[in-house]
Every structure is written in C-alpha cells, then in structure tokens.
C-alpha cells in the first residue's frame, strides 16, 4: 500500500516538472522543428504535440540519468522525422517566413537575409547527423550529453560531430565570399 502514494507523488512531481519545462522549452522545441521542416505553423503544432505525447506517456517515464528535456527533444525528433516522411522535403528555411523587428533598417534586414541564405545553403552540404547536432545544440539549446541521448551517440561523439560540422561550415562560408 505504501508504494501507491509514492507512485502518485512521483507522477505529481513529473507533471510539475513537465509544466515548468513547457514554459522553458516550448519555444526551443518549436525553433528546432522549424529549422528542420521550414514551416512555422507546423513547427508550433509539433511542439504542442511533443508536450501532449509527453503528458500521455508521463506515467511510463522513468528517470535514467537523462534530463526530461532530452526526452522531450527525443519526442520532437521522432515527430519531425514522421512529418518529413509524410511531407515533401524542404531543405531550406523560406526567407519570407522570417520575422524581423519593424524598426530595423531595410539594408540590415537584407544583409541578414543574405547571410541566412548562405548559411542555409552551406548547411545542406553537411551530413544529416551534423545538421541535426547543430540544430539541437544551437536552436534547441541542449548540452552535448542531451543531444547524444537523442541521436544515440556518446557525449564525445556529439562534440566531435559538432566540431567537424562547424569547421566544415567555416570553410564553406569563407570560400563562398
């Protein structure tokens, strides 16, 4: 009988943690999905679905040394893969979907858009895993250990993939000028 209240207490704790993670990670997950699929509305739907699936699976969630936010990004990764399987693949982010502040100089906006287009084209020359590592690390804000748990690689392997991807991007962007 004593195990039942402990289980309810754990579930209640997990619900509280998930609610706080929603506040902190919804935007990061939506940004991660957006960089993968290129559609803001669909990315926001995926981010919402991540938390819905997490809530539905919360009873089966067990702490295994991996933070809950890594679990959320694993769910997001799976949903994005499913989405891409079903949809026509888009490899770049449409420039017209990027929102900028109204008081920014049009020349600055144009330069930013050109630079974004250069980076997007250069990222297409990375491997799929390199792109995913960079997206999870920089758009998702995850640690290399958290990314490793999502892509089934060690912490060191993720750091090496990130280093190699950044080095290749740097060379591509320098030679592109």
pLDDT for 44 equals 93
Q: Hunting for tokens 């190699």 — which residue is that?
A: 164
Band of the pLDDT at 88, cuts 50, 70, 90?
Answer: low
Q: pTM here?
A: 0.59
**Structural domains of the chain in order of their starting residue, each with its CATH number:** 1-90 (1.10.1740.10), 103-177 (1.10.10.10)
Contact by Cβ (8 Å): 117, 148: no
| Of 135, 96, 128, 177, residue with least CA distance to 147 | 135
Are 31 and 139 spatial neighbours (Cβ–Cβ below 8 Å)?
yes
Q: What is the pLDDT of residues 33-48, one digit of tens each?
A: 988 888 889 999 999 9
Region of 38 on the Ramachandran plot (φ > 0 left; ψ -120 to 50 alpha; else beta): left
∠ CA 95-30-90 to the nearest 5 degrees?
Answer: 45
pLDDT for position 38 = 82
Mean pLDDT of 145-165: 90
Torsion over CA of 38, 39, 44 and 50, rounded to 10 degrees? -60
Higher pLDDT, 98 or 111: 111
């Amino acid at each position: 009988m004593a195990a039942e209240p402990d289980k309810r207490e754990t579930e209640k704790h997990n619900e509280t943690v998930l609610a706080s993670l929603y506040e902190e990670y919804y935007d990061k997950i939506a940004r991660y999905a957006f960089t993968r699929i290129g559609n803001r509305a669909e990315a926001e739907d995926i981010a919402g679905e991540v938390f819905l699936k997490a809530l539905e699976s919360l009873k089966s969630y067990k702490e295994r040394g991996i933070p809950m936010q890594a679990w959320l990004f694993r769910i997001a990764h799976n949903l994005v893969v499913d989405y891409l399987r079903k949809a026509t693949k888009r490899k770049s982010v449409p420039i017209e979907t990027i929102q900028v502040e109204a008081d920014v100089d049009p020349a600055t906006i144009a330069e930013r858009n050109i630079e974004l287009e250069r980076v997007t084209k250069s990222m297409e020359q990375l491997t799929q895993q390199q792109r995913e590592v960079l997206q999870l690390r920089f758009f998702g804000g995850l640690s290399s250990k958290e990314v490793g748990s999502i892509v089934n690689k060690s912490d060191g392997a993720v750091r090496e993939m990130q280093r190699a991807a950044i080095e290749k991007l740097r060379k591509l962007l320098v030679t592109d000028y």
